Amino acid sequence: MNVAKLDLLYEGKAKQVYNTTDPEILWVYYKDSATAFNAQKRAEISGKGELNNLISAHFFGYLRDKGVESHFVKLVSSREMLVRRLDIIKVEVTVRNIAAGSMTRRLAVPEGTELPFPIIEYSYKDDALGDPLINAGHAMAMGLATEAELKHIDELSLGVNEILSAYLKSLGIILVDFKLEFGRHQGKVMLGDEISPDTCRFWDSDTKSKLDKDRFRLDLGGLTEAYRDIWRRLERGAAEVKH
């Protein structure tokens, strides 16, 4: 697919999105910016954008091989990818396998508590409001998504969880929880945004060491090293499959 990058369409906390010469395709550039707590904490961390781009592309490619469609088209460079233009559904979906993060604060559940089944939470995608928790009724009443779309999103989210949990377990990584975003493309709901250590909680299976953005949130240090560890394991797993 030969397209050229045009004007900047949107700049978010972690990415820049550009129009291209194909109206159905966008050009995404991953920045080194790190933010937390609704962007109240900020930093520039060298190499972070490249790793998030490569990791996201790997996960989207792996899911595509398993029959899960996303906006991902192809890598352009180590920091850039082409994606399908989506009409974003303003419902962020969090899938939780183990209690961590905001769940521990809201419900006083100790971090590390294994949940008896994956829990799905919805948030209203609105930075000004702090992405508040909502339920299916809110989403439908506000016109964010239909009942059928939400059912499909739940099925897709649980499917992604099952696929990635098993895959990561084989690499010595626990998928604690993760956030997904969805959009509509030519009438079809599919995955969007990214799947990376910025949007997932990854723990080492043996040490329970955090290998995700919690290292930035909690001032643990070593964020780039943790992201690079995830990427090395994914590369190693891909190489083993080829052989």
Q: Is 17 exposed, middle or buried, given 0-12, 13-18 or 19+ CB atoms closer than 10 A?
A: middle
pLDDT score at 38: 76
Q: Evaluate whether residue 238 is within a structural domain.
A: no
> Which of 231, 155, 216 is CA-nearest to residue 32?
216
Sorting pLDDT into bands at 50, 70 and 90, what band is 183?
very high
Looking at the structure, do residues 63 and 113 belong to the same domain, yes or no? no
**pLDDT of res. 113:** 98
Structural domain harbouring 27? 5-84
**What are the φ and ψ backbone dihedral angles of 4, each rounded to 5 degrees?**
-115, 145
Shared-domain flag, residues 111 and 180: yes
Query: In this structure, are 113 and 24 located in the same domain?
Result: no
Residue 18 corresponds to which tokens in the numbers above? 């550009």
pLDDT on residue 243: 47
Query: Quick one: 26 and 56 in the same domain?
Result: yes
* 45 and 133 co-located in one domain: no
Q: What is the CATH number of the domain that holds 101?
A: 3.30.470.20
In a domain, 236, yes or no: no
DSSP alpha helix (H) spans, the chain: 48-65, 102-107, 136-141, 147-169, 214-217, 223-242
Residue 54, domain CATH: 3.30.200.20
The count of C-alpha atoms lying within 13 angstroms of the C-alpha of 183, restricted to the half-sphere facing its C-beta, is 15
In a shared domain, residues 127 and 56: no
From the list 18, 140, 2, 7, the residue with the least C-alpha distance to 85 is 18
- List pLDDT tens digits, range 193-214: 999 999 999 999 999 999 999 9
Same domain, 115 and 161: yes
**67 and 122, same domain (yes or no):** no
Reported as a single tens digit per residue, the pLDDT across 132-173 is 999 999 999 999 999 999 999 999 999 999 999 999 999 999
Give the total number of structural domains in the chain: 2
Q: Do residues 110 and 206 share a domain?
A: yes
Pairing of β 87-98 and β 41-44? unpaired
In-domain check, residue 228? no
Coil/strand/helix, residue 20: strand
For residue 243, tell me if it sits in a domain. no
The yes-or-no verdict on residue 237 having pLDDT over 90 is no
Q: Place 235 in a pLDDT band, splitting at 50, 70 and 90.
A: very high
* Cα atoms in the 13 Å half-sphere on the side-chain side of 172: 15
Going from the C-alpha of 23 to that of each of 19, 20, 36, 221, 241, the distances in angstroms are: 7, 6, 32, 41, 36
